[in-house]
Amino acid sequence: MTTISQALKKAFQYHQANRLTLAEEIYRQVLEVMPLQPDALHGLGSLALQQGKFQDAKKFLCLAVEAQPNSFKHWLALGNCHQLQAEYSQAVDAYQKALAADCNVAAIHNNLGYALQKLGKFSKAIASYKKALEIQPDCTEAYVNLGNTLHAQGKLSSDKQSYYAQLNYKLGLARKQAGDLNNARDYYQQAIVLQPDNWEIHYNLGIVFQEQEEFDKGIASYYQALKLNSQNWNIYNRLGQIYQVQKELTKAVSIYRQGLTLLNPNYERAVATNQSCTIQITPSIPQGKVKVGTYEFPAIAPVREPEKPRPFWTVVIPVYKRTDYILECLANVLLQWCDEAQMEILILDNASTSPVHEWVNSLAGGIVNYYRNSENIGASNNMNVGISLSRGEWVHVLHDDDSVYPGFYSHLQQSLKDCPDNVGAACTGFEYMNQRSKVVRLGEINSVYGEHRGILQDWLSHIGVCGLVMMPALVIRRRTHERLGAYSNEIPNINDWELHKRIAAFYDWWYEPEILARFRVHSDSQTSESWNSGNMAAQVYQAIEMSDSYLPIDCRTEITANARSQNFNYCLAHASIPLKNGNLLGTFSILQSALGIDKSSQSVAKLFKWLAQDDASPVRAAIVSDLISLNI
């Protein structure tokens, strides 16, 4: 039986590995057994602090200091919580209580000094920093804070200002990495005071303002960075992101064109004639089928006029109505566009009623091929039409709300131009971003394969169990589509995972570990709605059944069994979505699909445990009602 200490050790390991959901689950389980366990309270407080949930953090940490008032770490964490909210007097009080518990911890003296410095008590702050350095001579933060305090008093010599500026900048980067945006901002601003002509500091300060949604300040910082360095694409891209959020699309077009014209001479030449991208009616595409295993999928015919020169890339950008992100998506492709001989860009408009073409034309007129369907044919069909129209050796389907980083195409082309025929697809590292373009987490493949570069080993055993790659990070050889088909229309919400499995069953995959693509997650996305209705779980079930028919015989049983077990858990974890929305039918649909995926005794036991939760009481009541109606 797991002891409290063993459970806390495991939770701490998850916490250190940034697997916060698992850590929180164990901390809460400990509190169910021992409601005032101080380490579990501290852990939950620290988690809440990391996530910016300051009131929750304060609640848990106050309980921790009540349960264990002589522990310096609880008081230190509580002081940090106050400091992050600019509650400096309360922070000083907490740090002093931490020192009463243990006065030989450099971090406490440093943090106390910082709070005192923010209160304008410079002499006391200097004394605290010196004490921190006495205990820990290599405490960089205390050393920098001491220099900043001396500068505030006019006591820092001019020959040391550049040196301290760089130290402040590095500390700002570290605090930003740790999610401490307030302190990161303060260190960047101090660095600018000491070294105002450093574009990188202004740029990174802009990022903090952008993530804190202080957009006007972010714009000012980015333009200051541009004055100092007009050759960095990231600055233009960040400005474009803010203008998108502010619905200032004309300004977004202007800043993207400015950056593209300066940084990509090919773009400058192509748009110099002010050509327009004419709206072309999407031609009729034969609706053939290709059979793989026991299922049929939409066929992709061989490229037309194969004797003519073909580009290496076709970038297919499906669009429908939405204009919020298309400029960012398109600009980051155009930055890497050389000419039509290397890359064709196809916009597939699924009968939009909003002015998508107007914005595409304002940025990419004369470069892109714009096709418009006469009627909406569905998202999957729209992607498949784009693949059918492609002439490139490799096809990249890039949704209009996703994006790529500079180097995406050049890195992959360098690796793929001479790759063997058995490589049917390739992908890069990627990250998830939210609606404000803030990175929220790394992609799954990054944690599985790390810095490995080359053909993915044991890839089928991984991708066969769960999805690890999102579409913006993936390119597929056109011949692969010609053999195996395109995206299934039967499972539109999860057809990318099914296609990935289908390709991996017959071809090798190449992997570039650098993070070169970004996938956007939305709070009101189609995926969320499909979970609410229960359709997603049914499609997960169908995707597993499909791949079971074509996986290699020697590994089919093991991969499918692992997929059933893992995706039962996946569906069960998402059953709370319709439940919280009061949609019992959607909840029952997910549970039914989950049991279709895996009926093992272990999964049934997990289901009963899930039903025993307080939040599941409406489901239990509905089950009881149904049983009573049967007159059993």
Which comes out higher in pLDDT, residue 626 or 65? 65
C-alpha 575 chain-centroid distance: 23
Q: Which of 236, 194, 199 is nearest to 219 (CA)?
A: 236
pLDDT of residue 526: 61
The amino acid present at 494, given as its one-letter code, is I
Residue 183 pLDDT exceeds 70 = yes
Q: pLDDT tens digits, residue range 62-75? A: 999 999 999 999 99
Q: Are residues 90 and 82 in contact, defined by beta-carbon separation less than 8 angstroms? A: yes
Q: Are 548 and 510 contained in the same domain?
A: no
Residue 169 pLDDT exceeds 90:
yes
User: Do 430 and 542 share a domain, yes or no?
Assistant: no
Where among 504, 522, 540 does a domain terminate? 522
pLDDT at position 381: 96
Q: Which residue has the higher pLDDT, 144 or 381?
A: 381
Domain boundary among 202, 229, 257: 202
Residue 217 lies in a domain: no
Q: Which residue among 153, 173, 202 closes a domain?
A: 202
Same domain, yes or no, for 546 and 584? yes
- What residues pair up with 469 in beta bridges, in sequence order? none
Total domains in the chain come to: 3
Q: What is the pTM of this model?
A: 0.85
533 in the same domain as 509: no
Q: Which domain holds residue 301?
A: 279-522
Strand, helix or coil for residue 461: helix
Residue 197 is encoded by which pair of tokens? 């002509």
In a domain, 308, yes or no: yes
The reply to whether 542 and 509 lie within a common domain is: no
Digit-coded pLDDT (tens) for 519-577: 999 865 567 788 889 999 999 999 999 999 999 999 999 999 999 999 999 999 999 89
Say whether both 179 and 307 belong to one domain.
no
Q: What is the dihedral of CA 147, 153, 159, 162, to 10 degrees?
A: 50
Q: What is d(CA 579, CA 284) in angstroms, rounded to the nearest whole number?
A: 43
Task: Report d(CA 430, CA 166) in Å as an integer.
Answer: 30
Helix, strand and coil content of the chain, in percent to the nearest 5, comes to: 60, 10, 30
